[in-house]
Amino acid sequence: MAEADGDDVVDVLILGAGSGGYACALRAAQLGLSVALVEQSKLGGTCLHVGCIPTKALLHAAEVADATREAETFGVLAKYDGVDAAGLRNYADGVVSRLFKGLTGLIKSRGIRVVEGRGTLTGPNQVTVEGPGGPGGPGGPGGTVTLTGRNVVLATGSAPRLLPGIEIDGTRVLTSDEALRLDRVPGSAIVLGGGVIGCEFASVWRSFGAEVTIVEALPRLLPPEDAASSAALERAFRKRGITARTGTSVTGVTVTSDDDGGGVVVTLSDDTEVRADVLLVAVGRVPRTEGLGYEEQGVTLDRGFVTTDDHCRTGVDGIWAVGDIVPGLQLAHRGFQQGIFVAEQIGGLSPRPIDERGIPRVTYSRPEVASVGLTEEQAKEEYGHDAVTTLTYDLAGNGKSQILRTQGFVKLVRQADGPVVGVHLVGERVGELIGEAQLVYGWEAHPDDVAPLVHAHPTQHEALGEAFLALAGKPLHTHS
């Protein structure tokens, strides 16, 4: 066993090489700090390998399938012939591996030491890494190495949440990990959980021709979104033939044998049952914090999540936490931001704490749902019922959305006579509009700050321009 020596003391020792971890490493190295990055799983983590990137590749393939199937309504003659599961995997793997290569090069170019293996916090500024050996691995096969950091950043990410009594068999009962690797498109699917992941897989499989039922215990899909967004998504899904059983929970799951047709029977709280080829369990993600020595070193956990202050400090001097293990939105770009934020603090800068509400959310289903800031309900709670105004602009009036044949809206939530505190979008491709929306939110802009600016015609983002014009009291293409 190789012991830590002087060379192994780094300024920043990062446990986990996902979005939060590698962003922290990149920024720290840029600031001239020495950095070691312990790669628990592959560099890039969940987002790059089994999260954002491969799911969005699937969703784009789903868009291609829909475009092909609906081509005739646009005057294009085409025949849709189904999905080539191997081709689909090749495409997604190709995207992942190109980005992985780029990221690997970037980490290397910034002189970041990468140590492969499973790291455990064995002292307040010490991480012991076991196996797997090989290049980047510690001390040959089965070896361990102990690294010391003036600062330790916990960034061990998350894994799909499992439910007691529902066994993931990888064939009939899946989490998103297995769903991404499925060698076929199921003919029918039950999606347990109507959050982002559930809605995205439901959307993909429906585009590929499956019968899909979503079961969600809460009263609506995407519960954290504005109620209007949930309602619009449910309507759009219904039109697409996706069944959403909201306010319903699962009481039992039985996998039937292949002799018996092969599939899954799910019984629901209303005493009905649903049968399908596969069941996707998409009920959130749990932080990976167990058995890693966190509590032993004095780090406080709350239901598995690491408790931090608004500076990502754990309470143990020199130990920080970023990404999915910190309570809040489990999103890659939040991880990036927290990683950068911690690196800058360690580097002696004084970055402003991250406003969690300013972190944009996008569900990449068909249609997309995107938001930043407060929902109408949250704003009314915060500012009082009468101190909030809202403006909804229907995409029916937006030329580009008509061209795309998509329905949806832009909804602005405004603190009375104050800034816009929430922007909510539904419609195909509206996820890209959240770029403008997050600037408006981040800069605490009033409608009058945006209304005079010229939005390009015909784009989808001009719907934002129209909404701001209307909220400023001078609607253009809107009945006033």
Site for a second copy in 29-68 (CB under 8 A): 30, 47, 52-53, 56-57, 60-61, 63-65, 67-68
Crossing angle between the packed helical segments 376-383 and 227-240, to the nearest 10 degrees: 170
Q: What is the DSSP letter of 311?
A: T
Contact track, a second copy, 239-278, x by CB under 8 A: ----------------------------------------
Candidates 5, 135, 271, 480; binder of a second copy (CB under 8 A) is: 480
Q: Say whether residue 353 binds a second copy (CB under 8 A).
A: no
Of 431, 447, 467, 471, the one binding a second copy (CB under 8 A) is: 431
Q: Which amino acid is at 225?
A: E
Nearest to 431 by CA among 1, 60, 137: 60
Name the residue with tokens 């995207």.
95
Q: Choose which of 128, 144, 176, 337 interacts with a second copy (CB under 8 A).
A: 337
- Among the listed ranges 144-152, 169-177, 377-385, 454-462, the one in contact with a second copy (CB under 8 A) is 454-462
Question: Phi and psi of 150, rounded to 5°?
Answer: -60, -30
Question: Are 233 and 361 in contact, with CB atoms under 8 Å apart?
Answer: no
Which residue's CB is nearer to a second copy, number 185 or number 264?
185
Active site residue 457: yes
* Sole window of 224-232, 273-281, 285-293, 391-399 interacting with a second copy (rule: CB under 8 A): 391-399
* CA distance between the termini of the chain: 75
3-state secondary structure of 412: strand
The rounded radius of gyration (Å) of the Cα atoms in the chain is 24
To a second copy, the closest distance from the beta carbon of 382 in angstroms equals: 20
| Least spacing, CB of residue 214 vs a second copy, in Å | 23
Give residues 107-146 in contact with a second copy (rule: CB under 8 A). 109-110
Question: Measuring CA to CA, which residue among 329, 400, 311, 403 is closest to residue 371?
Answer: 329
Stretch that binds a second copy, among 34-42, 224-232, 336-344, 415-423 (CB under 8 A): 336-344
Residue from 1, 2, 76, 416 that binds a second copy (CB under 8 A)? Answer: 76
Question: Taking the complex as a whole, how short is the minimal distance between the CB of residue 467 and a second copy, in angstroms?
Answer: 12
Given the complex with a second copy, which of 27 and 172 has the nearer CB atom? Answer: 27
Task: Determine the Cα–Cα distance for residues 416 and 33; give it in Å rounded to an integer.
Answer: 46
Please tell me whether residue 218 binds a second copy under the rule CB under 8 A. Answer: no
Q: Give the residue among 444, 407, 402 at the shortest CA–CA distance from 428.
A: 407
**Under the criterion CB under 8 A, does residue 333 sit at the interface with a second copy?**
yes
* Interface pick for a second copy out of 187, 284, 399, 419 (rule CB under 8 A): 399
Distances (CA, A) of 332 to 46, 81, 105, 271, 303: 9, 34, 20, 38, 21
Interface segment toward a second copy; rule CB under 8 A; list 112-120, 276-284, 299-307, 437-445: 437-445
* CA atoms of 237 and 206, how far apart (whole Å): 9
Set 424, 457, 477, 479: catalytic member = 457
**Crossing angle (nearest 10°) for helices 332-346 and 19-30:** 30
Q: Which residues are catalytic?
A: 457
